[in-house]
């Protein structure tokens, strides 16, 4: 356990070494949030309710999506494909450390730091912009929303791992990752809640794992899901997690058999 | 001038051959390009589904703006962004020397070395969508309007190019600012929304967004026939000023290039 705590500390130290770079990264996140926020703010001007959402609901959705994005989609596993391709993976294989646990620890460090900054940014933005915000009063719903976010986090971790493992067979990892990123941006619900999509597209989105990254935790927080759809959501989400853990395990074992430590 | 045209023609040829070598890469990037364009237009289409106008732009005008964005950003990615991205890496790894010792202008070599032909699909998609929304809006497009449309697309490209080059030139002083390039990609996306959207932003941030008003709005307003000569002169003046300032920043920054890590 001690070694993984040290990895978390190392991740912080690494990020703080390049402080200005980290600040630029946060500026980028705030910029992304502001664009979405002002877009929705303008769309709602003069309207009390749109797509079944009040302005306070949608602005809460937008602001919280930034925090959820940070804890769910923030990951260091992006580098895995490159690590495999340039042979650096060998360094991990000979160490008395589990490769996946190493990245889990690294991700925890990354997410904690980004989450802290994200909270500060959102607080500052709320103070400056004074948007109408919806506060969830039920502690039970808040706990469920946190569990949904944790589910999304685990699911995205394994999803990203699966993409990185492609590196065993292809030197070109950028294209599939970018392609999945574009599809994910649309179907994860970062720009808008998925239920404003036309019915057929919404049904498609529900059948994809991206549904559980941003949209599902936020819908749980807003209390807009019925008990049944919440239970179904958690069950299907868990099935996705199970499927991805199985897939990653299989791909990893097969990948190691073809790994040649090229570049070392 | 003749020499530069000859060099650029050769570069086009090399880039074309390179693209054909990596066929898998070609198809995945092509798919990405198509999906990205669809995503942008579809997002505006969905968001404006139940409102007739946003920021005093009608729904179809906003969709025309989104289509023009595809044309513009396609051109920007085809000719400029990849080069500046490459430039930031050359500075980071201290490989800029290879560029500087070539018997051509360093800014030319840094800005126009690679061409991303796949982005042309994005341009074509954007043009087809623009053509469709021009039809929906029943706009009469004359050859003169088309000419001005392309002129102001070029003006917008000059402004955005100047911003990118100036910002990346700063990394010569601090090569570790690798996240700057990601930030630039995001900042460039600001151009795809009307400037009225940012008027709620604080007075500190709004002036920073000022040049973006002259990037995508002019060509779209020209198609909508809502652009005045005075606004046009203003946009061209901003582009010239930005080009001159970026040239100055580039030449001054180069004096501080230390070839670190090479």
Instruction: Mention every residue, 6+ apart, whose C-beta is less than 8 A from residue A206.
Output: A194
- Say whether pLDDT at A8 is over 70: yes
Which residue from B24, B36, B197 is facing A39, i.e. has the nearest CB? Answer: B197
Task: Provide the pLDDT confidence category of residue A23 given band limits of 50, 70 and 90.
Answer: confident
- Say whether pLDDT at B208 is over 60: yes
The whole-number pLDDT of residue B103 equals 86
Task: Provide the pLDDT confidence category of residue A51 given band limits of 50, 70 and 90.
Answer: confident
Instruction: In whole angstroms, give the CA distance from residue B134 to residue A222.
Output: 40
Which residue from B29, B48, B200 is facing A41, i.e. has the nearest CB? Answer: B200
DSSP state of B73: H
Among chain A residues, the shortest Cα distance to B41 is held by: A186
Chain A residue numbers touching B50 (CB-CB < 8 A): 50-51
Q: How far is CA A183 from CA A205, A221, B63, B97, B219, in A?
A: 10, 24, 20, 39, 29
More confident residue, A26 or B132: B132
The CB density around residue A254, as the number of other CB atoms within 10 Å, is 13
Among chain B residues, the shortest Cα distance to A47 is held by: B51
Which ranges in A18-98 belong to alpha helices (H)? 19-44, 55-68, 80-85, 89-93
Percent of residues, chain A, with pLDDT higher than 90:
40
Average pLDDT, chain B: 86
Query: Distance, in angstroms, between A182 CA and closest chain B CA?
Result: 6
Taking each helix axis from N to C end, the angle separating A19-44 and A55-68, rounded to the nearest 10 degrees, works out to 160
Q: What is the pLDDT averaged over residues A242-259?
A: 94
Q: What is the pLDDT averaged over residues A92-113?
A: 90
Instruction: In whole angstroms, give the CA distance from residue A110 to residue A51.
Output: 35
Inter-chain CB proximity A24 and B179 less than 8 Å: yes
- Say whether pLDDT at B205 is over 70: no
Which residue from B36, B174, B179 is facing A182, i.e. has the nearest CB? Answer: B36
Count Cβ–Cβ pairs < 8 Å, chain A vs chain B. Answer: 87
φ/ψ of residue A170, rounded to 5:
-140, 135
Q: Identify the residue among A128, A176, A186 best suited for mutation to test binding to B, counting B beta carbons within 10 A and taking the highest.
A: A186
DSSP E strands, chain B: 53-54, 57-58
Chain A residue numbers touching B183 (CB-CB < 8 A): 24, 27-28, 31
B197 in reach of chain A (CB within 8 A): yes
Query: Distance, in angstroms, between B63 CA and closest chain A CA?
Result: 14
Please, which residues bridge with residue B54 across strands? B57
Chain A residue numbers touching B55 (CB-CB < 8 A): 42
Instruction: Mention every residue, 6+ apart, whose C-beta is less than 8 A from residue A163.
Output: A81, A173, A176, A177, A180
Helix (H) or strand (E) holding B66: helix B59-76
B188 in reach of chain A (CB within 8 A): no
The whole-number pLDDT of residue B247 equals 95
B187 in reach of chain A (CB within 8 A): yes
Instruction: Mention every residue, 6+ apart, whose C-beta is less than 8 A from residue B55.
Output: A42, B193, B194, B196, B197
Lowest mean pLDDT among A43-47, A49-53, A141-145: A43-47
Q: Identify the residue among A14, A15, A23, A28 best suited for mutation to test binding to B, counting B beta carbons within 10 A and taking the highest.
A: A28
Residue A223 gets the label, from left (phi > 0), alpha (psi -120 to 50) or beta, of: left
Inter-chain CB proximity A186 and B198 less than 8 Å: no
Instruction: In whole angstroms, give the CA distance from residue A193 to residue B57.
Output: 23
Farthest-apart Cα atoms in chain B, separation: 58
Inter-chain CB proximity A28 and B179 less than 8 Å: yes
pLDDT tens profile A171-220: 777 778 888 888 888 899 888 899 888 889 899 999 999 999 999 999 99
- Say whether pLDDT at B238 is over 70: yes
Task: Provide the pLDDT confidence category of residue A3 given band limits of 50, 70 and 90.
Answer: confident
Pairing relationship of beta strands B57-58 and A53-54 according to DSSP bridges: unpaired
Chain A residue numbers touching B46 (CB-CB < 8 A): 192, 196-198
Contact (CB, 8 A) for B191 and B235 = no
DSSP state of B136: H
Inter-chain CB proximity A172 and B48 less than 8 Å: no
Chain B residue numbers touching A192 (CB-CB < 8 A): 43, 46-47
B254 in reach of chain A (CB within 8 A): no
Inter-chain CB proximity B180 and A24 less than 8 Å: yes
pLDDT tens profile B40-77: 888 888 888 777 777 788 889 999 999 999 999 999 99
The whole-number pLDDT of residue A264 equals 62
Chain B residue numbers touching A35 (CB-CB < 8 A): 189-190, 193
The whole-number pLDDT of residue B29 equals 78
Q: Identify the residue among A32, A79, A182 best suited for mutation to test binding to B, counting B beta carbons within 10 A and taking the highest.
A: A182
- Say whether pLDDT at B260 is over 80: no
Cα torsion at A233, A238, A239, A241 (round to 10°)? 130
pLDDT tens profile B239-257: 999 999 999 999 999 888 8
Instruction: In whole angstroms, give the CA distance from residue B131 to residue B232.
Output: 23
- Say whether pLDDT at B261 is over 60: no
Chain A residue numbers touching B190 (CB-CB < 8 A): 31, 35
Farthest-apart Cα atoms in chain A, separation: 63
Taking a contact as any Cβ pair under 8 Å apart, which residues of chain B between 35 and 64 contact chain A? 35-36, 39, 42-43, 46-51, 54-55
């Amino acid at each position: 356990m001690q070694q993984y705590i040290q990895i978390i500390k190392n991740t912080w130290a690494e990020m703080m070494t390049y402080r200005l770079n980290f600040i630029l990264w946060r500026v980028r996140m705030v910029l992304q949030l502001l664009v979405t926020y002002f877009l929705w703010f303008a769309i709602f001007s003069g309207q009390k309710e749109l797509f079944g959402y009040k302005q306070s609901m949608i602005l809460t959705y937008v602001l919280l999506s930034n925090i959820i994005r940070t804890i769910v989609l923030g990951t260091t596993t992006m580098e895995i494909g490159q690590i495999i391709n340039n042979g650096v993976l060998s360094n991990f294989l000979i160490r008395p450390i589990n490769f996946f646990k190493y990245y889990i620890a690294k991700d925890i460090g990354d997410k904690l730091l980004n989450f802290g900054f994200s909270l500060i940014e959102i607080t500052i933005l709320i103070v400056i912009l004074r948007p109408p915000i919806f506060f969830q009063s039920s502690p039970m719903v808040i706990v469920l929303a946190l569990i949904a976010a944790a589910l999304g986090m685990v699911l995205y971790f394994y999803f990203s791992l699966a993409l990185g493992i492609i590196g065993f067979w292809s030197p070109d990892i950028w294209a599939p990752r970018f392609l999945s990123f574009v599809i994910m941006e649309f179907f994860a619900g970062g720009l808008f809640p998925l239920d404003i999509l036309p019915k057929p597209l919404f049904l498609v989105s529900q059948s994809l794992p991206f549904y559980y990254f941003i949209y599902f935790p936020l819908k749980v927080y807003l209390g807009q899901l019925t008990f049944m759809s919440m239970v179904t959501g958690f069950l299907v989400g868990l099935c996705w997690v199970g499927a991805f853990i199985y897939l990653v395990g299989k791909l990893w074992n097969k990948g190691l058999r073809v790994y040649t430590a090229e570049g070392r | 001038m003749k020499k530069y045209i000859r060099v650029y023609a050769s570069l086009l040829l090399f880039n074309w051959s390179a693209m054909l070598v990596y066929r898998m890469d070609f198809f995945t990037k092509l798919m990405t390009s198509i999906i990205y364009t669809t995503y942008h237009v579809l997002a505006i289409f969905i968001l404006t589904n139940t409102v007739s106008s946003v920021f005093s732009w009608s729904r179809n005008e906003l969709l025309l703006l989104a289509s023009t964005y595809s044309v513009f950003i396609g051109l920007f990615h085809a000719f400029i962004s990849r080069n500046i991205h490459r430039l930031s890496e050359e500075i980071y790894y201290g490989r800029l020397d290879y560029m500087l010792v070539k018997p051509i202008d360093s800014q030319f070599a840094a800005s126009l070395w690679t061409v991303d032909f796949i982005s042309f699909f994005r341009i074509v998609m954007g043009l087809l969508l623009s053509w469709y929304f021009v039809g929906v809006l029943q706009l009469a497009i004359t050859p003169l309007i088309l000419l001005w449309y392309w002129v102001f697309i070029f003006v917008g490209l000059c402004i955005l190019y100047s911003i990118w080059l100036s910002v990346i030139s700063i990394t010569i002083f601090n090569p570790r600012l690798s996240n700057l390039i990601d930030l630039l990609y995001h900042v460039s996306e600001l151009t795809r929304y009307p400037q009225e959207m940012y008027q709620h932003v604080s007075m500190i941030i709004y002036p920073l967004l000022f040049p973006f008003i002259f990037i995508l709005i002019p060509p779209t307003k020209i198609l909508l026939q809502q652009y005045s000569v005075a606004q046009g002169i203003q946009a061209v003046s901003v582009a010239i000023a930005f080009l001159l300032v970026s040239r100055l920043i580039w030449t001054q920054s180069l004096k501080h290039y230390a070839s670190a890590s090479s």
